Amino acid sequence: MRQIEQDIVNFVRVGISFHSGTSSSYCPENTGYRDDLQFDEEKFSYRLWGNEIAKGDKSTKVITVSDCGYPTATTVSRLNAIFAGLDIPMSCMVRKKKMVYFLNGKEITDVEERIKQYNTWVHRAGNYNVSIVTGPAYLL
């Protein structure tokens, strides 16, 4: 695990905001950082290049994740670190330019179909209710 993933896991677990990397022309509306984790009490938001890829509430055990239209290795890395930091038994990967999710080590096969029908998919994963959303960042 790279240092950035270790930092994400640790900061999510203890509930402390952090940022890493520098801004670029890809994220002018961002706070100036590639990675930006913000905590407000128990609620958190994680932005990657200005796109909110995860938000949640540790007290109510609800999290919403999205690739924000960018199914990349970097997005996968950050989401998997967030899942690990919250002890959620989920992971994701990119396959054929699409995000694929796993729950308890098994591929979730109905995600794509449910998202097509309802624009979101919700499942119980460990102690959390996880919502997966597709599309641009404003859907979160």
The per-residue pLDDT for 123 is: 80
| Residue 138 DSSP code | G
Cα 111 off chain centre by? 16
Integer Cα distance of 140 and 55 in angstroms: 8
* Neighbouring-strand partners of residue 35: 20, 48
What is the structure's pLDDT at 46? 96
Confidence tier at 135 by pLDDT (50, 70, 90): low
d(CA 13, CA 33): 21
Please write the tens of the pLDDT for every residue from 64-106.
999 998 999 999 999 999 999 999 999 999 999 989 999 989 8
What mean pLDDT comes out for the span 8-37? 79
Contact 47, 30 (CB under 8 A): yes
Whether 124 has a pLDDT exceeding 90, the answer reads no
Is residue 28 over pLDDT 70? Answer: no
